[in-house]
A and B are shown apart, each in its own frame.
Chain A
Amino acid sequence: MYDIATTEKTVEQQVTKISARDVQVYYGESHAIKDVNVDIEDKTVTAFIGPSGCGKSTFLRCLNRMNDTIDICKVKGEILLDGENIYDPKVDPVQLRAKVGMVFQKPNPFPKSIYDNIAYGPRIHGLARNKAELDEIVEKSLRRGAIWNEVKDRLDAPGTGLSGGQQQRLCIARAIATEPEVLLMDEPCSALDPIATAQVEELIDELRQNYSVVIVTHSMQQAARVSQKTAFFHLGNLVEFGETGQIFTNPEDPRTESYITGRIG
């Protein structure tokens, strides 16, 4: 079942974009993430897999400090983005989130027009000097989000009126519009049907040209299809991290093997 042509995927050696060192996350009393060390490469799709509650989403949210919005969440250890610790007090989490964009599980377009949804980030960060530049950014982002052709005639229509798959691509386009360096995706296809999923997966593969993409997924097929690197989380531990082909065909850890063959999870 997993003998998809993943092994033959060429994986060029890339620069490390994000590296996590001894990351611990606590939710109040509970220790959600234990000693995670991982290097995420630039222009690569990295998949986080693992059973529910294993901490993969929590760890993903650490990468752009979205956990800051949760009062009881405490993060220890270092996460370096281009060699700079993002938990350093002098780092502004708001600026960081502009560099490390995020796409969520459920499509969450704002109750605004399609145009305003995309223009939201650029306007906040002052990326466009005038209307023409903004128009250009919106068009470019929608094209990169592979949704331009479907919405170009109705940019003034509300974003909430689109179908689920279109909404998720709109949200990806919205994240791209702020020109992030890393794109985090938290189960981006779990609320979508198979056709929309295929479209989003295709899009993720294209995004790899420009960004480092980290995707959390419950679907092992999806991880195998879209990622070059895979990390397997179990009970808050990073069990195994390596080339996707290797993880799926020849896992080193028995727990990984049990999970991908369906015995735990």
Chain B
Amino acid sequence: MMRRRWTTTVAITLASVLTLAACGGSGGGQGAQPSSGGGDAKKQVEVFSWWTGPGEADGLKAMRQIFEQKNPSYTFFDAAVAGGSGDKAKALLQSKLQADTPPDTFQGHAGAELQGYIKAGDLEDLNFLYDELKLRDVFPAQLVDQISVQGKVYSVPVNIHRSNVLWFNPSVLKEAGIAGAPKTLEEFVADLGKVKAKGKIPLSIGSEWTVTHLLESVLLGSLGTDAYNALFKPGADWSSPQVTKALETFKTILSYAGDPQDDWQPAAKQVADGEAAFNIMGDWAYGYFHNPPEGGLGKTSKTDFDWAPSPGTEGTYLWLSDSFTLPKGAKNRDGAVAWLKVAASKEGQDAFNPKKGSIPARKDADQSLYTDYLADALKDWSSDKLAGSIQHGVSVNQPWLAAITEAVGLFIGSKDVAALQKALADAAKANAQ
């Protein structure tokens, strides 16, 4: 009797230890599974992104096909994590990087967003690739300049989005007696007032990040391109009276905003439905307005909705870009480099961008592929001055953006311009480098 109890005890103990070990094992092995069965000797390339939505996932697939054609010895492993602007993906990536098990290549907004990874020594610099493919000749010089850190480039930009776009409903404007899109912030404020008098929502907004998005357009429109770009240099002066004036304008504009919607889509929809007159959102909104239902609203451009550079920013492209990187310690470095080559190529970018609804970062794109809004964007991209987006990771690194987001979130409640300016100045002091 006694003996049996002993064996039972030992068996249960062993079993529980084994279960624990098994749990640990399965967690660690995730993501290392080859994506294709059949036991072929193909090496896989793990590509980590947050492109899972309509449009963007199709673009990724198009680029993947080119990659697999050109590199028959590699298989593409799609490690995409759902979630707009990569919130959840970035959190998962953080844990992968800290555990020293990086994906072979990961998506990140080009620019300062990557600074943290660079500082932590997670990324290889890509100067060798830029030299080999002569990428400095095909990307705009200002773009390469704005994503370089001490002379080194750490990512390959695949696409360009524009942040400073004013979307509006032409018939609502007409009803309010507004002739065309406002050119300056003063005109904009006046127009907002006219719409309000007609009982429509002057400016639609979404959740708090869309307000930060609005802020960057207002800052750019009020300060001008050079002063805006200077805000992100070391020792920049966020306490200047010019910034105060910009923030006061921001407060005025915000006072015309409608009830905050859940996200940017419902806010854009208010414009498309004729409930609201204006919305300031990045040009990914074009796909939402224009694409057929399921994935879009199926509206006709120029009649149901129209666009212009946000007030006071004509001639400047407030840009952001998705890019791919080369993490140090990638399991399949050669495969990752092969992927980067496709991502940097004209063929890859022209396959990806028309589907995603963005323009290529390269200057030599096939213009016939880009129509309607995208044709406008391509034209402006080749002639405009460039300024980097705040909300989308070009001009500020992640801690800085978190501090700005927090300041704007508190401002929405308090409407206290002095407190906002102080928080912005503190954030710059703590993070500019």
A and B found bound together: no
Query: Which residues on B are within 8 Å of A, measured CB to CB?
Result: none
